[in-house]
Amino acid sequence: MDLSTELTYLKGVGPHRAAMLATKGLQTVEDLLQYIPFRYEDRSNVKTIAQLAPGEMATVIAQVRAAKASGFRRRDLGMFEAVFADASSAVLVGKWFHGQYLSRVLEPGQRVALFGKIEFDSFTGELSVLHPEFEILSEEDEDGEAALHVGRLVPIYEAAQKVHTRLLRTLMYRLLNQLKPVEDPLPRAVRERLKLADRWTALREVHFPPAESDPRVLNAFRSRAHFRLIFEEFFWLECGLALKRNQARSVPGIAFELSGRARERIKTMLPFKPTGAQKRVLGEIARDMAAPRPMSRLLQGDVGSGKTIVAAEAAVIAIENGYQAAVLAPTEILAQQHYFYWKQLMGPLGYVTVMLTGSFTSREKTQLKKLIAEGLAHVVIGTHALLEKDVEFQKLGLAVIDEQHRFGVLQRLGLARKGQHPDILVMTATPIPRTLALTLYGDLDVSVIDELPPGRKPVKTRQVTADRVEQVYSFLKTQIDAGRQAYVVYPVIEDSETQAMKAAEKMYQHLSREVFPDLTVALLHGRLPAAEKEAAMEAFKQGRTQVLVSTTVIEVGVDVPNATVMVIEQAERFGLAQLHQLRGRVGRGADQSYCILVTERLNDTARERIRTLVDSNDGFAIAEMDLRLRGPGEFFGTRQSGLPALEIANVIRDKEILEAARREAVDFIASPPSEEEGRRAVAYLRDHWQRRYGLVQVG
């Protein structure tokens, strides 16, 4: 037996259980060894029932005497009770609310390990324990392994269907006893520098911690065994990313020239003085563009931090070198916004900006495509329509992708393929911590605009319950009377844009006829024909419309500095990032702006989201909270970001270890201690990485 042995050949497994284990992705011995406990229970201090004291957390080994759904009075709660007894001849009652299912699990005669908080019921005079953790111990000690499950620090595993923690524990124990110590693939220099436990020791200790271990440290995943295994997983991930990055950088790209004329033109274009952060970031981009390899850079910056102008500066460099620039936006509305913005900037320089989206007629499209193919259009703004096969550029030099989180890796590449290794700039207003960004977007370099343009006042954010919405409307009215404009937004629920549209439409009728009969109110939603959307946006921009009722189509990109009120209805239905984006539509001018979150029914996480938003205006802090509340998988969809699923490590909980691993990996790949060690690492990566993550091409 070795690491690659299929689990079905293990004693006690067989095809049936192997299939259950496979549902957790466990196929080989190595997979199983990596399946670490999600928790540890200290059963070293097992007490007899007679020794128990109310208030303590304790483990008891006892026998089930009786088990039943309990009496008439409590039937509504589905209370299930089991009576336990041991040799001390005292009795302990376990209680579970909604525990009917246990009648098929707990039966008189079974020996059980129970763990929980002991209480004394003064009414009945019983010792009891509510919702204890429990584990059924086999009736007899079949193979002398009973000592595994009690009287020590015990690992608790997530069940793989019917393969429960107890069986998993036994399997782990047998494996660790039968296997020869595994080799340590981590480079020796790294191991020594960080004083890491060797792999075999770490694997043994993570499953069966030494007796003197502190259970709190174990449960925080911070034992030396945990540290080592988490580090290792991150280290290989980061090595893989570094290699992938090197590969991407090794293809020839365009070396743009940063002529004095280009600098001059950039200066002419800028309508304002760039912030320090914008200057720094342009420097980073310009350096990439001048280098003879393709740029792949992620530009992170909070809503309204001024990313677009930096992209426009980069476009000027490309155009002055005789190339075209493309801007890919996720929605029609955003493309429209970009089109207006870029046209204003580019027009005075004599550059032609065009827009291509799905809503043009095929005749219009044909004409636009011709302009693009002949190089007469310098800047091409568009939606997914840009990615269609027959859109050909004469000479694409720079591809800008806005709001990265809406596009997959493939689409990014799709745009890049329209040129000969053009430079790529990806912009996102969903900023995440730097190391995490470097990992999630493995092949991208990261720039950050961490400064807002001067004179911006932070938006004031309030939560108001729906029964007080009249007050919100009268506040809105005072702002309009002072010459400002306002948004009122409705959520799109699940896939039902139609429903949201109906809600918005109904509210539009209500607001325009009953609440604000004297104001100009307009409606905007995703189902309107493009021309009407455009007209609605234009009217709002020019101030002809005072209140814009909308679905989330305005989430990104809309830029109307005179709008100072953002009312979000049913705010509990929106995600945190989305709320922050919506709020970013106001606070774009010199006047104080307000965001009002109208809520109906709040559950705990919704309340947390709303509180975060009320308390903070900082996009980075909000994104980090979002990441915490939703977990990394959902936050960025593993599939989209290309981040492989991690087995032991967790990018949030283990942030510091990720940083250490990244540093070591980058150094190691850049200059391995010896050629032999470098080769060994790449070979190891190829063997393990490919199988575990599938996605990444290495070496």
503/522 Cα distance (integer angstroms): 14
Residue nearest to ligand ADP (CB): 306
CB 308 to ligand ADP: min, Å: 3
CB nearer ligand ADP, residue 453 or residue 672: 453
CB 558 to ligand ADP: min, Å: 9
CB nearer ligand ADP, residue 403 or residue 659: 403
CB nearer ligand ADP, residue 74 or residue 456: 456
CB 518 to ligand ADP: min, Å: 30
CB nearer ligand ADP, residue 278 or residue 461: 278
Which residues pair with residue 217 across a beta bridge?
none
CB 207 to ligand ADP: min, Å: 48
CB 479 to ligand ADP: min, Å: 20
Q: Which long-range contacts (CB under 8 A, 24 or more apart) does 497-502 make?
A: 497/525, 497/526, 497/527, 497/551, 498/527, 500/525, 500/551, 500/552, 501/525, 501/526, 501/527, 501/551
Q: Which residues have C-beta within 8 Å of that of residue 279, sequence separation ≥ 6?
A: none
Alpha helices (H) along 542-603: 576-583
CB 562 to ligand ADP: min, Å: 12
Question: Exposed/middle/buried for 397, CB within 10 Å: 0-12, 13-18, 19+?
Answer: buried
CB 257 to ligand ADP: min, Å: 26
Question: Exposed/middle/buried for 496, CB within 10 Å: 0-12, 13-18, 19+?
Answer: exposed
619/579 Cα distance (integer angstroms): 11
CB 448 to ligand ADP: min, Å: 12
268/261 Cα distance (integer angstroms): 11
CB nearer ligand ADP, residue 29 or residue 566: 566
* Half-sphere exposure of residue 425: CA atoms within 13 angstroms, side-chain side: 31
Query: Of 537, 538, 598, which is closest to residue 566 (Cα–Cα)?
Result: 598
574/595 Cα distance (integer angstroms): 14
510/528 Cα distance (integer angstroms): 19
CB nearer ligand ADP, residue 15 or residue 276: 276
CB nearer ligand ADP, residue 305 or residue 612: 305
CB nearer ligand ADP, residue 305 or residue 439: 305
Q: Whats the size of the chain, residue-wise?
A: 699
Burial 26-36 (b: 16+ CB within 10 A, else e): bbebbbbbbbb
Judged by DSSP in three states, 353 sits in: strand
CB nearer ligand ADP, residue 304 or residue 491: 304
CB nearer ligand ADP, residue 116 or residue 304: 304
CB nearer ligand ADP, residue 254 or residue 309: 309
CB 577 to ligand ADP: min, Å: 13
Q: Residues 297, 425: contact at Cβ < 8 Å? A: yes
CB nearer ligand ADP, residue 299 or residue 354: 299
Residues that bind ligand ADP in the complex, under the rule CB under 6 A:
272, 274-275, 278, 301, 303-309, 429, 453, 559, 588
CB nearer ligand ADP, residue 209 or residue 301: 301
Query: Of 416, 436, 432, 423, which is closest to residue 287 (Cα–Cα)?
Result: 423
Q: Which residues have C-beta within 8 Å of that of residue 476, sequence separation ≥ 6?
A: 486, 488, 547, 565, 567
Q: Residues 547, 486: contact at Cβ < 8 Å? A: yes
- Tokens representing 481 are 């009377």
CB atoms within 10 A of CB 505: 16
592/612 Cα distance (integer angstroms): 20
Judged by DSSP in three states, 366 sits in: helix
328/401 Cα distance (integer angstroms): 5
545/401 Cα distance (integer angstroms): 31
CB nearer ligand ADP, residue 305 or residue 545: 305
Tokens 């840009």 appear where?
386
CB 425 to ligand ADP: min, Å: 12
CB 585 to ligand ADP: min, Å: 10
CB atoms within 10 A of CB 60: 28
339/368 Cα distance (integer angstroms): 14
- Tokens representing 408 are 């997959």
683/699 Cα distance (integer angstroms): 8
CB nearer ligand ADP, residue 17 or residue 580: 580
Query: Of 299, 495, 534, 283, which is closest to residue 401 (Cα–Cα)?
Result: 299
CB nearer ligand ADP, residue 170 or residue 278: 278
Q: What is the dihedral of CA 50, 53, 55, 57, to 10 degrees?
A: -60
CB 407 to ligand ADP: min, Å: 16
Query: Of 279, 244, 230, which is closest to residue 647 (Cα–Cα)?
Result: 230
CB nearer ligand ADP, residue 274 or residue 442: 274
CB 503 to ligand ADP: min, Å: 27
CB 337 to ligand ADP: min, Å: 8
CB 284 to ligand ADP: min, Å: 16
378/393 Cα distance (integer angstroms): 10
Query: Of 190, 72, 337, 119, which is closest to residue 684 (Cα–Cα)?
Result: 190
CB 492 to ligand ADP: min, Å: 21
CB 280 to ligand ADP: min, Å: 12
